[in-house]
Amino acid sequence: MDWIERDRIVPGVENMLRANLGLRPGERVLVVTDVLSPDRWREYASGDLEGMLRRSYLARLVTEVAAASFPESRVDFYAFEATCQSGKEPPPPAAARFKETDVLVAIVSFSLSHTAAREEACRAGVRVASMPRFIPEMFYPGGPMAVDYTAIAAETGMIAAWLTAADSAAVRSPDGTDLRFSLRERQGLNDNGLYTAAGSWGNLPAGEAYVAPVEGSAEGRIVVRRRWFPGLEEEDLVLSFERGEVVKVTGGGDVGRKLGVFLGLGGTGGRARRQLAELGVGTNPNARRTDIVLEAEKIRGTVHLAIGDNSHMGGRNAADFHQDYVIPEAELILDGVTRMKGGRLLP
């Protein structure tokens, strides 16, 4: 079985290391992946298991391609036990290993972006590509990695400047999203895919401007359209907010039921997980998939809103969880000025 077309990922891997991560001769590269412990296998459907195994195999293949294409660099592979929760800290030995390199490529099933382990690696000067739920096809010609990241950087930088300048924001959509919150004194950030400076990091594929809303300010609701989130097939998912946090989850079938339990609605235990954490705007013209959040949130003309941790992106809410929800055909209003409507940026 040809699980991954090696020849089709080679140009993408080489471009990632050369252009996105600025790999220089003699530097160290560490490619990492997470693997399920045997006792967790029965918790996942066979399709999910296949995706995780394929992702880990991709990470190993990327290691081989990198070693062959960049013989003057030391390229290593490291696998660690999966946390089974995006935003949860990896095992301490893994966190320590992340700091012992110049470039870290994290092709994982559970995101490391919003963790102290990733942040500490960056503080040590490591350049990090965080790639949760990445699939080989993203490397293929025409995929979201095969873009002009310089052009993306220009548009993303413009939007990040809008977010920095704004005191207030509102997001609306034809599906019923209507959420208002404060951005006062918060810095808009530019995830443009160019991580060539020491300590820089972001997602690959990249292409988003984002900001941490002011805690306690969100009022309204997010409506996540079915088929715009993994497993969300039955009906739309609705998250209702009061004073900055989710107070009710409705719809969404099994996804909604599990989320409500995980957030601990009606109690105090999951309060940090319930906070509005992020506003983002996608800018990648080759991003298309709606069932993988890593790519969906980069689709040019979409807005995404997240709950959970934002302490690693300029906010004050620390949590063991961060989850993005992508809103297509969105309207984005900053300080009363409509900056996006129907998924199109306005001049």
Domain map of the chain by residue range? 6-138, 149-345
| Residue 283 and residue 148 in contact, taking contact as beta carbons nearer than 8 Å | no
Please, is 314 exposed, middle or buried when counting C-beta atoms within 10 Å of its C-beta (0-12, 13-18, 19+)?
Answer: middle
Per-residue pLDDT at 270: 83
Where are the alpha helices (H) located in 70-183, listed in sequence order?
A: 92-98, 116-123, 149-165
Strands 245-251, 331-334: parallel, antiparallel or unpaired by DSSP?
Answer: unpaired
Tell me the C-alpha to C-alpha distance, in Å, between residue 288 and each of 106, 301, 328: 22, 11, 11
Q: In the chain, which ranges are E strands?
A: 28-35, 74-81, 103-108, 127-132, 168-172, 178-182, 189-191, 201-203, 208-211, 219-224, 237-242, 245-251, 276-282, 303-308, 322-327, 331-334, 337-341, 344-345
Q: Is the C-alpha dihedral spanning 308, 241, 186, 209 positive or negative?
A: positive
Strands 178-182, 168-172: parallel, antiparallel or unpaired by DSSP?
Answer: antiparallel
Q: Which residues are within 8 A (CB) of 97 and not within 5 positions of it... i.e. 6 or more apart?
A: 30, 32, 78, 80
Per-residue pLDDT at 214: 98
Chunk the chain into consecutive blocks of 10 residues (it has 347) and report each block's average pLDDT, rounded to whole numbers: 84 96 98 97 94 97 98 98 96 98 98 96 98 96 93 95 98 98 98 97 97 98 96 95 97 96 84 96 97 95 97 95 97 98 91
Strand partners, 326: 304
Rg (CA), the chain: 19
d(CA 335, CA 312): 25
Per-residue pLDDT at 1: 43
> Could you tell me how many residues make up the chain?
347
Edge-to-edge strand ranges of the sheet holding 201-203: 74-81, 28-35, 103-108, 127-132, 201-203
Per-residue pLDDT at 269: 72
| Residue 253 and residue 232 in contact, taking contact as beta carbons nearer than 8 Å | yes
Query: Model-level pTM greater than 0.75?
Result: yes
Per-residue pLDDT at 2: 62
The residue whose two tokens read 């040809």 is 2
d(CA 325, CA 238): 11
d(CA 287, CA 292): 10
| CATH domain 6-138 topology | Rossmann fold (3.40.50)
Per-residue pLDDT at 3: 83
Task: Report the number of secondary-structure helices (H) and strands (E) in the chain.
Answer: 7, 18
